[in-house]
């Protein structure tokens, strides 16, 4: 998992990030994301694409941890405030819905240990296949958010 702020993308700390991830993050920064309507935007066919989502955040108890096998997620907040739960996948995690083969996602029961990431506009989190994540969680109160999710095929990394 990588957690950061887009205002720091030009700094030295992001020079070590894989070039495909770095380019996707820079492209997000160059794009007028606020002007994009919700939907799917192809950047490189099914290898790299962008999802624009508008949703209402919800309590953690209403959301499940998820993971993906074929794609890395870059979750980038455009507007609002979002908490994303994070846990490193282990054999202790119990799968409650396995759609990895058909839809590239699995859902998990609540783990014993989970860290919360607080995203504000311009902040992002990158989740790899071993990273369980619970997006769309509200902070103190639920609210509307707009976010971008870039899906990058693991074959590119």
Residue pLDDT, tens place only, 90-109: 888 889 999 999 999 999 99
Indicate the pTM of the whole model: 0.93
In angstroms, the CA 24 to CA 152 distance is 9
Average pLDDT, whole number, for the chain?
93
Percent of the chain topping pLDDT 90 = 82
Nearest to 108 by CA among 85, 124, 125, 128: 85
Pairs from 34-42 (Cβ < 8 Å, separation ≥ 24): 34/78, 34/79, 34/146, 36/148
Q: What is the pLDDT of residue 17?
A: 86
pLDDT in tens, 31-86: 999 999 999 999 999 999 999 999 999 999 999 999 999 999 999 999 999 999 99
Alpha carbon distance 35, 69 (integer Å): 30
Domains and CATH numbers, the chain: 2-156 (2.60.120.370)
Residue 141: CB partners within 8 Å, gap ≥ 6? none
**What is Dmax (Cα atoms) for the chain?**
42
């Amino acid at each position: 998992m990588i957690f950061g702020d887009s205002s720091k993308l030009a700094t030295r700390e992001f020079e070590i990030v894989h070039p495909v991830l770095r380019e996707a993050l820079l492209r997000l920064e160059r794009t007028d994301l606020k002007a994009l309507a919700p939907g799917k935007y192809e950047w490189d066919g099914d290898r790299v694409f962008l999802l624009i989502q508008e949703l209402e955040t919800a309590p953690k108890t209403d959301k499940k941890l998820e993971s993906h096998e074929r794609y890395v997620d870059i979750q980038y907040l455009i507007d609002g405030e979002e908490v994303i739960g994070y846990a490193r996948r282990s054999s202790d995690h119990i799968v409650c819905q396995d759609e990895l083969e058909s839809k590239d996602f699995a859902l998990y029961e609540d783990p014993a240990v989970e860290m919360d990431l607080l995203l504000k506009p311009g902040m992002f989190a990158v989740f790899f296949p071993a990273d369980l994540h619970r997006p769309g969680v509200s902070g103190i109160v639920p609210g509307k958010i707009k976010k971008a999710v870039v899906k990058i095929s693991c074959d590119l990394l």
